[in-house]
Structure 1
């Protein structure tokens, strides 16, 4: 008898340990709703010890609303005599709502009379919050203008697609879930391998791709795809953001058409001026040659008279000679417009030309410094070194005059490969790109479109500056090298000129 009692006590202890180990709320009530058995989690929920709970009803433990809710479900279990499932909520000790998934079952005696019930309540607050977050994110994703897809890297099948992807392709979600990525992409290389593509994305982490997607009706549309490889809880996924770029492509084509039109108009304008300027320049040069010759002879004649170098007549002759030399420089610039200004191309070392020309142009006593950022192993280009030096010189002078109080000129040279996505009006291929930047006054939006027009200038007119031909000359020279010159500027921030020269392919 003692052994049986001891065994019963041990079993009660084991049962108590077992109940207290369970993280769900567990309780047993009698038919009158009094709590007879509760576990540790129940105590933590109500903030009371077991001795203060046992024998008490829910009205004595819980707030009125919760007690009534519990009593309602208890009565339903007693009336129906079977296990029932509920979702309940209450306010915790910290004042926050707690949600429970509750199962209640009737307990019978040996005569099949209900003597109470047992309940198990699982805290599903975090689970509910997760569901709400997922639903919120799902609604957000379905409201985006871009398509969102999740793909199984192993099979290339779609796991998830948002509403936008379905509407873009004309398929239902069910239809897409039975398809692979390769069923959607309209153009794939002959040697395309899905596994190699997955490995490439995995190694890089993400990739930006341009593709052509095929709709259900057979039509196609261009897309950008930003795909990222993810590993979540030991499962691999490929997540893609897919943007329809049909309108962007149309805009790009229109911009290229306008750029070509503007390029043609500029070329025609320069050619017309060039024909006129070439004739004037040659005639003007002949006149200047006569004037310079006479000045030289006059100075030679006066030198025989042993006149001082401070003599007023000699000074005037020297000033006239300097003015004639400046005029000859102007005629040289005009000749660049003419047919005789075609470049004499040869392989040049751009790095040396940049450093040499800049050092000659920037005054040694000025408040302006220069920083170089020149890539190693620059592409070789075939160009007229004198004309390229003239371009660099003009752009550096332009930068200097934009910074009257001093500043920094940055000269950069790098290798690039131009593609149709760059939206540059040049042929696709390899180019050497040179950028010359200043942090000066900048160019206003109203003037930037006219900056390469002949004789357009924002500077004062005068003998030394403001002739309005420098940038037009640069444009003409680069154009005749089958390159491109562009400008970026912001008032009060500075200006950057870029010029591109095609890499030598020989």
Structure 2
């Protein structure tokens, strides 16, 4: 059906043809070869009609293209908005993961790392480009490999795994205790990634150990203090009786020597009960502010006297004054240095360093934040095995098995008790065969 536009073009073409013939040809009608003029007019009409039809097609096609272009533009805008929203979500999650204090990781089924967030990289000492493809089990401490492999295989098989506790090893050798949760992502029933979130609990574990140690020492101290007081009373009575009997005998009596040996044994017993009381009560320290430089040097030199061991001091010039009981603190230094001396059977050197240190809130030391004087006493002895470090301050714990050296196991326990009574603490770092360092933290005078 011809459209209005085509008919309009046809009529316009016919009228235009008539006008041209009227202007440029004979104007009479009928005239010679009039059929040719009619043919011309019809041709103009047909041509104009088809031009109109073509214009209609062009207009329709133009509208279709404009509509398609508008739809395409709309679709492109929607896609751009979707891509922008996706980028924003990716940036949001990337920012969330990277700024999380927890260590987030994704591991391929072959055990290689796919992704690790900033906390993971910073804690373990990795650059961002070093993470992809790095074997995860090279980060886990060898002692935990079997445990972690069991959990890894369980996750790959689709089983759920409870909280995972393990140890990571940083690039600088630090051991980091972590705990967390993992799950496995499956695509078409095939494992593609194990995703995990872990938290560094090293400091928390240290505080828990310190709390358990303090609770254990408190319980033992209460028992030891009660026994020590009762035993001390008995020994005091015995000493009084021995003294009376000894004084009643003539000076030349053979029994005096026996009684003197008994008296010495009682005195040794009283000395032991004194250690019990110091451990139990801390000996009620009488504290005052002093500069500890001279006391520290004298205590170390006295403890090393007669040994083939050199001593090197590195004491800060601006050492804080500390609030201490000088007698009890001398006992702490003496016990620590004697331990160092006995560990260096072939001689060596003891290094003593003292420096001011500001302790923050999350210090892992179980002491109040503030200004402290930190004293480090380092020996070159045989070191302490890792399995013994957690028990080194326990009462009765000793590694001296030789009869000539065997101790009571109270020296370091007394040190710990005294330090807690002073508001400070004592810690130890050691590696078997490479020596030991004791760190003594004393609160600075206000």
TM-score, L = length of structure 2: 0.54
345, 348, 358: which one pairs with 2:300?
Answer: 358
C-alpha distance in 2 between matches for 1:408 and 1:474? 22
Deviation, structure 1 residue 369: 2.7
C-alpha distance in 1 between matches for 2:312 and 2:222? 39
Query: Structure 1 290/493 Cα, relative in aligned 2: closer, same or farther at 3 Å?
Result: same
* Structure 2 residue 315 is the aligned partner of structure 1 residue 374: yes
Root-mean-square deviation (CA, aligned residues, Å) is 3.4
- Residues 214 and 221 of structure 1 are in contact (CA less than 8 Å); yes or no, is this contact kept in structure 2? no
- The 5 Å alignment of 1:36-435 reads 170-171=90-91, 220-221=99-100, 244-245=118-119, 248=123, 251=178, 254-302=201-249, 304-306=250-252, 313-339=255-281, 341-364=283-306, 366-419=307-360, 423-435=364-376
437, 448, 458: which one pairs with 2:378?
Answer: 437
Deviation, structure 1 residue 407: 2.4
Query: Structure 1 475/250 Cα, relative in aligned 2: closer, same or farther at 3 Å?
Result: closer
Q: What's the CA shift string for 1:285-340, capped at 9, x where partnerless?
A: 111112222333344445x4346xxx6x4444443333322222211111123247
Query: Structure 1 359/318 Cα, relative in aligned 2: closer, same or farther at 3 Å?
Result: farther
* Structure 1 residue matching 2:271: 3-state secondary structure: helix
Query: Structure 1 272/406 Cα, relative in aligned 2: closer, same or farther at 3 Å?
Result: same
- Residues 284 and 331 of structure 1 are in contact (CA less than 8 Å); yes or no, is this contact kept in structure 2? yes
Query: Structure 1 293/439 Cα, relative in aligned 2: closer, same or farther at 3 Å?
Result: same
C-alpha distance in 1 between matches for 2:207 and 2:411? 23
- Residues 168 and 215 of structure 1 are in contact (CA less than 8 Å); yes or no, is this contact kept in structure 2? no
Query: Structure 1 395/301 Cα, relative in aligned 2: closer, same or farther at 3 Å?
Result: same
- Structure number with higher relative contact order (C-alpha < 8 Å, ≥ 6 residues apart): 2
C-alpha distance in 2 between matches for 1:417 and 1:262? 23
Structure 2, unaligned runs of 5 or more: 1-86, 103-116, 124-175, 179-198
Structure 1, unaligned runs of 5 or more: 1-166, 172-212, 224-242
Deviation, structure 1 residue 220: 4.1
In structure 2, the partner of 1:496 is 437
* Structure 2 residue matching 1:382: 3-state secondary structure: strand
In structure 1, the partner of 2:414 is 473
Relative to its length, the structure with more strand (as a share) is 1
In structure 2, the partner of 1:450 is 391
Larger radius of gyration: 2
Relative to its length, the structure with more helix (as a share) is 2
